[in-house]
Amino acid sequence: MIRRALCLSLALGASLAGPPVAAADPVLPAGWIAGGPAAPMPAATTPGRKSRDALQLALSPPRPVLAPVPLALADLDTVDLQPAPSAAQIAASNADAPGDPPTDLFVAPGCSRASVSGHDIGEISVDWETRPIAPQSGAGVMLWGSRGGDGKHLYVRASWETIDSLPDGTLRYTETVARFHVLTCKARVARRYSVIARPYFGGLAYLFRTRCAACAPVERDVVHAILPPGGWGTEPYSHNHVAVVPGVGQGFLQQVSAAHRRRFGELLRHPVADAAAGMSTEIGIEAAQTLAEQAPTMIAYTAEVPERGFGF
């Protein structure tokens, strides 16, 4: 009886006390704005046992399916190099430059423009400007900003890379670094090499490898990829680099549109298969090597993704 009376008293006291009073929010610092009450989530989207992160992943669009491409460093054509002179090194000396004159450099009358002749595609840089080249010495860079120099330095750095299509379906890639005289507009070769780039990804990319034991770490072992331009680029091709450096991971991912892959194949006279309607192709190459590993891990892959629009 005593226990029953006590329970009735407690219930009566709780009913007379009324609803509980909510505790007041603490005073916010100056400049802070108090938020309103959180809106209840609809029952259909309220996470149950899954966390919010899991729910967000479940609602995300599906990732493209990756198609792995076998890639081994030993399979790539490789060329061993010596370091090329930098722009600062070339500008530091006004002595007559050693080396032979390049046979493919074209300088227009009046030293108005520099380009390269006799190659399918490529690009040239003189001093600070870089431009694509065209067959038969077309395009190139204007020399108004470099001609005559600053009155103190006679040489600037010039470099050009050229790509030529070969009958067996490969490419010949050639890179030249030269010292360019700003008064006479004549050049002398400081370093030049050629290497075969072989097709991968169904002809969408051509790969080769360079090694330079005396170069900076990121230049000692490099995988080069020649492929169509990405994004909204108007250049004929792109040149990507993946450095193979112990303790470092590096790579690239580039989306190639249907229009760019067709133009790339036409320029090199190696037709490339069309992508599915409304789709672009992503190409990726990655290299990683820990300090304890003797060799790097190489990953190469492609994926079909929706076209971005505007034909790119």
pLDDT of 312 above 50: no
Region of poorest pLDDT, from 23-37, 53-67, 68-82: 23-37
* pLDDT at res. 27: 72
Q: Using 50, 70 and 90 to split pLDDT, how confident is the model at 12?
A: very low
Does position 63 have pLDDT exceeding 80, yes or no? Answer: no
pLDDT tens digits, residue range 92-106? 989 988 899 999 999
**pLDDT higher for 267 or 34?**
267
Which pLDDT tens digit goes with each residue over 216-238? 999 999 999 999 998 777 889 99
Point out the least confidently predicted range of 12-16, 32-36, 208-212. Answer: 12-16
* pLDDT of the residue at 67: 84
pLDDT at site 48: 58
pLDDT at 107 over 70: yes
155 has a pLDDT exceeding 80: yes
- Cβ atoms of 182 and 149 within 8 Å: the answer is yes
What is the mean predicted confidence (pLDDT) over 20-26?
59
Most confident stretch, 62-71, 173-182, 302-311:
173-182
Mean pLDDT of 198-207: 93
